[in-house]
Amino acid sequence: MEQVDYDDSTFETFFSNPPAELAFDQLDLNRIPRHISCIMDGNGRWATARGLNRGEGHKAGIVALREIITACVRLGVDVLSAYAFSTENWKRPKQEVNLLMHLFAQTFVDELPLLKRENVRVVFLGDISALPKRTRDVFEFGLNETAHHTGMVLALAVNYGARAELTRAARLLAEDVAAGRLTSEHIDEQAVAGKLYTAGLPDPELIIRTSGELRLSNYLLWQAAYSEFYITSTYWPDFNRWELIDAILAFQGRDRRFGGLSKGREA
């Protein structure tokens, strides 16, 4: 796999030589989304199209994620979240699931120096207690190693499902009520948000889905209430810094009304 040199790269060097067709000079660095979320889809199809096994697609997807992490750090993004493994992904062939769990553990070990150098704090969305011990131990080690970091937050959704997350939040709130820590009258949107895996993080302003699929796939159902969506037919392993810039430019060209009127319109 191609290794991209990110060491000590500045914004100018990392984003040098943009494609001619990309309106890079129109990027407004003052309107970069605080939270960008990626539904990383298409690893298997990328591999199949090249006559490779699906595992090679997942390995290539890790290289792509490494580039997007660095790009988001250079752009000043506060939170980058990525859908790595859903609660439904356990239904995949056992060999593929085992490979993914091995890749998760190995990749986290390999990428920890980069995360430390970039001052990235890692959090996990989902129930990592259900993961194999080797993967869980590595994840918990990484959590501890980056807990003091003050830069971008990398939120990895592993064994995550939005319906399971909302069910968990309801159960936690019910337990608080039963224990007398909370009354039902005080259960509001803020209380619910505080019991989600994303508690303390801003909702995603931009959700990017690769491979052309037009669905959320049980991802961040609560948090995506006012997110802008960007769909690209590009498979995740081919999604790079320039594709990211294209997505951000599309985001910056939209009128975000949050249920209100368009700019310039009168009631």
3-state DSSP assignment of residue 224: coil
Catalytic residue ranges = 41, 89
* Nearest-angstrom CA–CA distance, 260 and 258: 6
By the 10 Å C-beta count (0-12 exposed, 13-18 middle, 19+ buried), 192 is classed as middle
* Nearest-angstrom CA–CA distance, 228 and 254: 9
* Nearest-angstrom CA–CA distance, 92 and 84: 14
Please name the helix (run of DSSP H) or strand (run of DSSP E) that holds residue 83, with its range, or none. Answer: strand 79-86
By the 10 Å C-beta count (0-12 exposed, 13-18 middle, 19+ buried), 15 is classed as middle
Tokens of 24: 């890079």
Q: Find the helix packing angle between 94-117 and 54-75, rounded to 10°.
A: 20
3-state DSSP assignment of residue 81: strand
